[in-house]
Amino acid sequence: MTEEHSAGQDAPEKDTAGTGIDTTVPHSARIWNYWLGGKDNYAVDRAAGDQYREIFPGITVVARSSRGFLTRAVRYLAREAGIRQFLDIGTGLPTADNTHQVAQRVAPDSKIVYVDNDPLVLAYARALLAGQAEGPIEYLDADIRNPEAILDAAADLLDFKQPIALMLMGIMGHFTDEEAYPIVHRLQAGLPSGSYFALYDGADTNEAFTQAQQGYNDSGAVPYYLRSPARFEPFFEGLEMVEPGLVPVPDWRPDPDAEPVEIYSYCGVGRKL
């Protein structure tokens, strides 16, 4: 395994002419944008995205369902749990329903700190997310491998005496278990009691998904590893799980009109006691 993980988006090591953008290898945030029907992607991303889809046609539904979980989780946190502060690490390129839009629709004064270390994601976030914000949002250029630095910087906007929802949406797959669990636990340790933690990631319960992911990891992009559902549990160690617990993404508090789909990503929301 390589050591070129980042906060969830690619950190190219090739010559990128000083901008951190490499258009010769696929870029996870841009491929994700492509699968979600966006236009902020390049030929190399579309080729990689199509190749992936040939092996695992379900990926488009996975992408959409995962965003659906983000929406439902944030809505639950804002509406049912009364959370007004969100720390969303590994933001990705803006899409239709970003964390702050969902949260600020429930409570316009919700504060959101987005964290990423990909220059393209940050540029888009500063320009386009700000334009849609009803309330205060902030973007941090920081690496998740330094959790304390993120917590420190987030304290400029967030009040660490009040509960905070920590969100890691589809980014811990970029790390091995040995790296991932300590990162998550250190982040959780910095949050006050009554805070929440929401996570989803890809699981290895489908052969085609696993195979497509392997092909992607061989393409030169920053790799992303699928976990067995059991290996998700340590992320939530010591937390009180919100019903229905750790489940496939479509099963987490589905909308009443949701059509049943089989999805191989797992998710959960836990509360810090």
Partner 1 sequence: MSTDDELPADISGPTVPRMILGHQLHRYREAAGISPDRAGYEIRASRSKISRMENGRVGFKERDVADLLDLYGVTENETRAVLMTLARQANAPGWWSKYGGDIMTDWFEEYLGLEAAAAVIRAFELQFVHGLFQTEAYARAVTLLGNTSAPAEEVDRRVSLRLKRQDLLTGPRPPQVWAVLDEGALRRPVGGRSVMRGQLKRLIEAAGQREVTIQVVPFDRGGHAAAGGSFTVLRFVDEDVPDVVYIEQLTSALYLDKREDVDHYLEVLNRLSTEALTPAQTTQFLAAIIKEM
User: Binding to partner 1 by residue 162, rule CB under 8 A?
Assistant: no
Binders of partner 1 in range 12-31 (CB under 8 A): 17-21, 23
Output the smallest distance, CB 124 to partner 1, in A: 8
Which of 75, 95, 119, 181 binds partner 1 (CB under 8 A)? It is 119
Interaction of residue 131 with partner 1, rule CB under 8 A: yes
**160 — phi, psi (to 5°)?**
-80, 10
CA-closest candidate to residue 200, choices 59, 65, 92: 65
Residue 43 makes contact with partner 1 by CB under 8 A: yes
At residue 264, the 3 state secondary structure works out as coil
Residue with tokens 């390129």: 93
Among positions 130, 155, 189, 258, the unique one binding partner 1 when judged by CB under 8 A: 130
Length of the chain: 273
φ/ψ region of 263 (left if φ > 0, alpha if ψ in -120 to 50, else beta) reads: beta
CB atoms within 10 A of CB 218: 9
In the complex, minimum distance from the CB of residue 167 to partner 1, in angstroms, rounded to a whole number: 23
Out of 25, 55, 61, 133, the only residue in the binding site for partner 1 (CB under 8 A) is: 133
Residue in 13, 50, 57, 127 binding partner 1, rule: CB under 8 A: 127
Rg (Cα) of the chain, in Å, rounded? 17
Q: Which residues bind partner 1 (CB under 8 A)?
A: 17-21, 23, 37, 39-40, 42-43, 119-120, 122-123, 126-128, 130-133
